[in-house]
Amino acid sequence: MLHSLYSNIIRDLLWKFLMSKNEFNELINNNSVNNNSDSSPNEKPPIETREQIIQIVDSFYNKVRADELIGPIFNDVAKVDWDEHLPKLYNFWEDLILGSENYVGRPFPPHMRLDLKPEHFERWLKLFIGTIDQKHSGLKADEMKNRAYRIAYNFSLNLGLQPTPRVT
């Protein structure tokens, strides 16, 4: 039950600082982030292996590359070399979620030059959460989503996007 409390705290922060209430509710409703769903948590497998992390990261970044809002940031502005970048992302997420200690690096500095806006983080989160919810459930899936919330929140603050609630 601690993970439910943790999930709720992170979601509250996301709503208050990154999204309008309507956008937040849409994210919850469309991506089954809410822990009070009628479906059994055992319907989808938990995240337990590096291979599952790789599948999540690959699926997510395929969506990112095709997305009309954030795709151009990755493809045209950052000019990401996917063959080089994806293995770093696999290690990053495996380290965070499975404790592998394979990741070496500092994820924030490359984002400083990209002129990111709150809507970029909102889209990134929506795609990320949707990708996880499509295939996985359980504590590690919740942890992965919560880590994504924290990353978006911290990156936003570090980029000077002072989080202020938007009134709709």
CA distance 90 to 17: 28
Q: Which phi and psi angles does 128 have, rounded to 5°?
A: -65, -50
H/E/C letters for each residue in 36-103?
CCCCCCCCCCCCCCHHHHHHHHHHHHHHHHHCCCCHHHHHHHCCCCHHHHHHHHHHHHHHHHHCCCCC
Measured at the CA of 122, the angle between CA 117 and CA 127, to 5 degrees, comes to: 130
> For position 80, what pLDDT does the model report?
94
Higher pLDDT, 56 or 36: 56
**Domain spanning 2-32+44-158 has what CATH number?**
1.10.490.10
The pLDDT confidence band at residue 38, using thresholds 50, 70 and 90, is very low
Burial of 56 (0-12, 13-18, 19+ CB in 10 A): buried
How far from 101 is each of 51, 85, 141, CA to CA, in Å?
16, 17, 19
Dump pLDDT digits (tens) for 43-97: 899 999 999 999 999 999 999 999 999 999 999 999 999 999 999 999 999 999 9
Give whichever of 108-112, 116-120, 141-145, 155-159 has the largest mean pLDDT: 141-145
Domain ranges of the chain: 2-32+44-158
What CA–CA distance (Å, rounded) separates 28 from 129? Answer: 9
What's the rounded Cα separation, in Å, for the pair 83 and 86? 6
pLDDT of residue 150: 92
- Give the helix/strand (H/E) hosting 138: none
Closest C-alpha to 58, from 105, 103, 96, 90? 90
pTM: 0.73
